[in-house]
Structure 1
């Protein structure tokens, strides 16, 4: 694609957004009816503010969902310690809840405006951010070009580029360069990610490591965990978490294969809880008794499967076991983040499709805290081995703790990379009268 064609493609994208803008209202109303939007705040998605802009320097952070939000929270706190105001946008109701619970009044939260020119323009004209920091892989053409026109530095932190995304962008190098050259800085998770961003046109790129390693372990409700552990008693447990279609069936097969050897409880936490009705029906059809978190079902001795059908409680589910299989890895390419189970003391099993978290799995596997399985039969053998071999399980758990400790440092590296952008704002903020700075 030539440079001219790239510009034409971006212009067509913007014009298409303008044409679609009148239909935002019905679109958001449908999503709100399905529980995918906060109905009371849906105007924020059109760029309308629901809070006052404070006086003084302001940085716009954007994190799409729960994982990205949790990853940037320590970085946001570093920015706030420098007296710089922060507006944090997220794209999901759950991530908004996480932001409120963990940051409270430290930041202004808004739902991210849709990548349509009228919405983005309205958002930027009101908030007038001094800098924009996006998490991981958020590349929105209209947002990027509108920030570029206003000469607002835009930075990608904890940046990663999956195999699939890199292949897609590589087919359109001029379009990729027209977008990525707008990024003032890319702070990549790995050397491979950094190389890919450079190849696609990003000019200033550095490697930091994964910010998720520098976050706190997922929170949990202690009385709830204590209650469940009392119900479980001496039963062995294992968990299949962040599962995708097909993997719940594999977990059920593993449970059936092991049931004659162990009186185990299988915990299944699908990546998308809205699938849980269908998953429960499948499990029941196989003769398994299911308890669900949302029903507050008792984990009695005859319960086979505990279905974790909530969002934001991974800290609870992972603390109920010491053996965790990470989903989206047996039948779907990409994998899921293994750092949380490593932090929480789980021996980790995964399928072979872990491209999106390649570096983390390589470190964990090298340390001996994660093992890959090819199929359901191998998964069953792995679960059985770990449930019945306390020494092997403990060795993997301890190796995970060491690996996570050794992987830390991304936060400090990221802050150092951001200093040319945040230090002037910090000086400006501290020179302002306190009453004005806090306005």
Structure 2
């Protein structure tokens, strides 16, 4: 069934379960295993902390220890595993916030980078916390403190015990913007019983595309609807106004393009293209924004490093090795090469660039965002490139019009008010 956000769906299909389903054999075995691992969890997290993989100030949130008080009134809990998934939920949060002005929102994620990026981008009345490890003691501690009235999971990430224990407490569950590729399905087949147990607890499952819907049903979801991705309706990324003025002055006279959320494969293409561009016109400047800013990168071209406060004199590359500033770079650039599209990562979110009028370029590997890039390509707001030669040609093309077409497409994105009303209607 294909669902349009512009019309409400019969609420009978969202009927909350009167009684939680008992755990199946797979979930019982999983519970025993995770309970045995509980004593080892603090040591495991401290080792990750020593390697810089956990937040020094907040790592105990993963043990279910709350880092903030629970606000009064209704609390809606939304989860996205990483930066992209959390940022995509902002439009849904904003729409629910408009419909329910007294509601508060708890946004959880697992990746350390997500907290640093979302800090300045969450809608009002939102709190960020790290998701607890999926073990009974940690999840119970988390739920005891936050007592959410609704739980919304997104993309591919479902934690079985979180789903079971929320269901057991009568908390309605939603799987939003769900995406399961064929490769993901094959990886999950050996634990299909665990997924079946979890998926049957969700009152509403909305898939991004028909293939994901089929794969979710193959994993045991009893009913799945196809709905447009919510990514295109997310609010624009924030940027510090004073910093935008300062950097704009620093970039004056340069032709700026950005390689966003890059991985090594993307950087190889971007840097090869930049070498050719500056040979033709030294005004070209590549702002390189790695997905992991802490990863060591040393371009072969002359470069300045943001974290070091370097100036741009004579530099071909500006290495933006900081978290949470893509909104700034998109505002200052003519075009963006979306990272992850030259490797097994299979792409990152293009809508954030389009929302700010930045032309979108991408590589051939975009399985994670196939429909999103297809929509932009059909509107002539995005262009696929396969190598540095094509990238140079694209950057010398009509970037301004491409960016405006993308921005127009974002502004025409399906409103989320109907979806927000349906989600809020699930709460008791």
The answer on 1:352 being equivalent to 2:372 is no
Q: Residues 95 and 417 of structure 2 are in contact (CA less than 8 Å); yes or no, is this contact kept in structure 1?
A: no
The answer on 1:373 being equivalent to 2:385 is yes
Measured after TM superposition, the shift of residue 80 of structure 1 is 4.3
- Count of residue pairs brought into register by the alignment: 403
CA distance in structure 2 between the partners assigned to 1:156 and 1:355 by the alignment: 20
Q: Residues 29 and 39 of structure 1 are in contact (CA less than 8 Å); yes or no, is this contact kept in structure 2?
A: no
Residues 145-200 of structure 1: CA deviation (Å, up to 9, x unaligned): 22233342211122222342133234654443222111111123334433432333
Residues 296-319 of structure 1: CA deviation (Å, up to 9, x unaligned): 21122x101111111110011112
Measured after TM superposition, the shift of residue 209 of structure 1 is 1.7
Aligned to 2:81: 64
Among residues 160, 183, 186, which one is paired with 2:205 in the alignment?
186
CA distance in structure 2 between the partners assigned to 1:324 and 1:352 by the alignment: 15
CA distance in structure 1 between the partners assigned to 2:386 and 2:124 by the alignment: 47
Q: Residues 254 and 379 of structure 1 are in contact (CA less than 8 Å); yes or no, is this contact kept in structure 2?
A: yes
Give 1:161-172 correspondences, 5 Å limit: 161-170=180-189
Measured after TM superposition, the shift of residue 363 of structure 1 is 0.7
Measured after TM superposition, the shift of residue 94 of structure 1 is 4.2
Aligned to 2:399: 393
Aligned to 2:15: none
For normalisation by structure 2, the TM-score amounts to 0.86
Among residues 198, 202, 213, which one is paired with 2:221 in the alignment?
202
Aligned to 2:60: 43
The RMSD of aligned alpha carbons is 2.5
Q: Residues 365 and 371 of structure 1 are in contact (CA less than 8 Å); yes or no, is this contact kept in structure 2?
A: yes
Aligned to 1:106: 125
Aligned to 1:402: 408
The answer on 1:328 being equivalent to 2:347 is no
Give 1:120-159 correspondences, 5 Å limit: 120-159=139-178
The answer on 1:266 being equivalent to 2:286 is yes
Q: Residues 157 and 414 of structure 1 are in contact (CA less than 8 Å); yes or no, is this contact kept in structure 2?
A: no
Aligned to 2:305: 292
Q: Residues 236 and 262 of structure 1 are in contact (CA less than 8 Å); yes or no, is this contact kept in structure 2?
A: no
Aligned to 2:315: 303
The answer on 1:13 being equivalent to 2:18 is no
Give 1:220-299 correspondences, 5 Å limit: 220-263=239-282, 264-275=284-295, 277=296, 279-280=297-298, 283=299, 286=300, 288-299=301-312
SS at match of 2:244: helix
Question: Which blocks of at least 5 consecutive residues in structure 1 are unaligned?
Answer: 1-5, 387-391, 425-439
Aligned to 1:427: none
Distance verdict in 2 for CA 1:236–1:404, change over 3 Å:
same
For normalisation by structure 1, the TM-score amounts to 0.84
Measured after TM superposition, the shift of residue 7 of structure 1 is 4.2
Comparing both chains, which one has the higher relative contact order based on Cα–Cα distances under 8 Å and sequence gaps of 6 or more? Answer: 2
SS at match of 1:39: coil
Measured after TM superposition, the shift of residue 238 of structure 1 is 1.9
The answer on 1:119 being equivalent to 2:119 is no
Q: Residues 187 and 414 of structure 1 are in contact (CA less than 8 Å); yes or no, is this contact kept in structure 2?
A: no
CA distance in structure 2 between the partners assigned to 1:177 and 1:290 by the alignment: 51
Distance verdict in 2 for CA 1:213–1:350, change over 3 Å:
same
Is the deviation greater in 72-81 or in 264-273? 72-81
- Greater share of helix residues, 1 or 2? 1
Q: Residues 181 and 215 of structure 2 are in contact (CA less than 8 Å); yes or no, is this contact kept in structure 1?
A: no
Q: Residues 96 and 417 of structure 2 are in contact (CA less than 8 Å); yes or no, is this contact kept in structure 1?
A: no
Q: Residues 96 and 424 of structure 2 are in contact (CA less than 8 Å); yes or no, is this contact kept in structure 1?
A: no
CA distance in structure 2 between the partners assigned to 1:193 and 1:348 by the alignment: 25
Question: Which blocks of at least 5 consecutive residues in structure 2 are unaligned?
Answer: 1-22
Among residues 355, 364, 368, which one is paired with 2:376 in the alignment?
364
